[in-house]
Amino acid sequence: MKILVPVKRVVDYNVKVRVKADGSGVETANVKMSMNPFDEIAVEEAVRLKEKGVAEEVVVVSMGVSQCQETIRTALAMGGDRGILVETDDELEPLAVAKMLKGLAEKESPDMVILGKQAIDDDANQTGQMFAALMGWGQGTFASEVDIQDGSIQVTREIDGGAETVKLKLPAVVTTDLRLNEPRYAKLPNIMKAKKKQLDTLSPADLGVDTTPRLKTVKVAEPPKRQGGIKVADVAELVDKLKNEAKVI
């Protein structure tokens, strides 16, 4: 089978994000960027399926600025076979990404698309679901276990109450949760080899997608600074304050 893995370039998880001075967004100039950790888990799962002989080809795709090539190369160094970048400087919303993924899926005809359940920058948690809906495919979101059987996938999903198991007909969409696996380190010899792997570039127009944002960002602000605490004399005062000041009980 063929697996398509979409990956997103995001501000590195170790970076303390700062709001731009004009409140228009988050500062990304001179900030370390890396692959969305949930997508890393998706790459790992796809590569493991290939190593097990279940998958024949792992195609890694990303959308955005030309530097997204670095993110794709990292996935190729982990074991992906080739990459596709849909290059654009536009800000991309989940729906636009899902539409472009649809265009790519129609070109590539994968049996499975596996991606992170959300990206750690905007935490939207929408792309996988929107893409599944556009394709009319089954979806197994928040996967903590993926088991491929003849023509179907069994996905164990993390839900509020515990775990749920669903069975999907192929082709299907899987979004990954943290417990699915622990991604490997890219080995240096593989980083060197990944330089030579095929990486094609397309434009949103090649896929017939208009990426114009549907939403307008009004303002981005830092969360309010935490206030210092106070000491209360006794339980009665505590209960009183919780009831009347904090209004939480």
Partner 1 sequence: MKSIHFAEEHEQLRTQVARFIDKEVRPAAPAWEEEGMVPREVLQSMGEMGLLGIRYPDAFGGSNAGPLSTVVFAEECGKSGFGGFSATVLVHTDMASPHLVHAGNREQLDRYLGPIIRGEQITAVAITEPDAGSDVAGLRTRARREGDSYVLNGSKMFITNGVHADVYFVAARTNPEAKGASGISMFIVEKDAPGFNVGRQLQKTGWLCSDTAELVFDECRIPAENLLGEENKGFYSVMQNFQNERLVLAAMALGECERGLEVTWDYVRGRKAFGGVLSDKQGIRQRLAMLEARVNAAQQFLYHVGWLMEEDIECTKDVSMLKALCGELVNEVMYTCQQFHGGMGYIQESEIERMVRDARIHSIGGGATEVMLEEVAKRSLQ
- Residue range at the interface with partner 1 (CB under 8 A); choices 51-59, 72-80, 98-106, 171-179: 72-80
Q: Given candidates 62, 69, 141, 156, which one binds partner 1 under the rule CB under 8 A?
A: 69
Tokens in use for 153?
């996938």
Q: Is 185 in the site for partner 1 (CB under 8 A)?
A: yes
User: Nearest Cα to 156, choosing from 173, 180, 138?
Assistant: 180
Please, which residue, 129 or 190, has the CB nearer to partner 1? 190
CA dihedral (43, 44, 45, 51) positive or negative: positive
Q: Is 196 in the site for partner 1 (CB under 8 A)?
A: no
Which helix (H) or strand (E) segment holds residue 194: the answer is helix 188-194
- Cβ pair 113, 3 in contact under 8 A: yes
**Smallest distance, Å, CB 61 to partner 1?**
18
CA dihedral (34, 35, 41, 46) positive or negative: negative
Please, which residue, 154 or 190, has the CB nearer to partner 1? 190
Distance CA(26)–CA(209), nearest Å, equals 26
Number of residues forming the site for partner 1 (CB under 8 A): 17
**Smallest distance, Å, CB 231 to partner 1?**
18
Chain residues binding partner 1 by CB under 8 A are 14, 34, 69-70, 73-74, 77, 185-192, 194-195
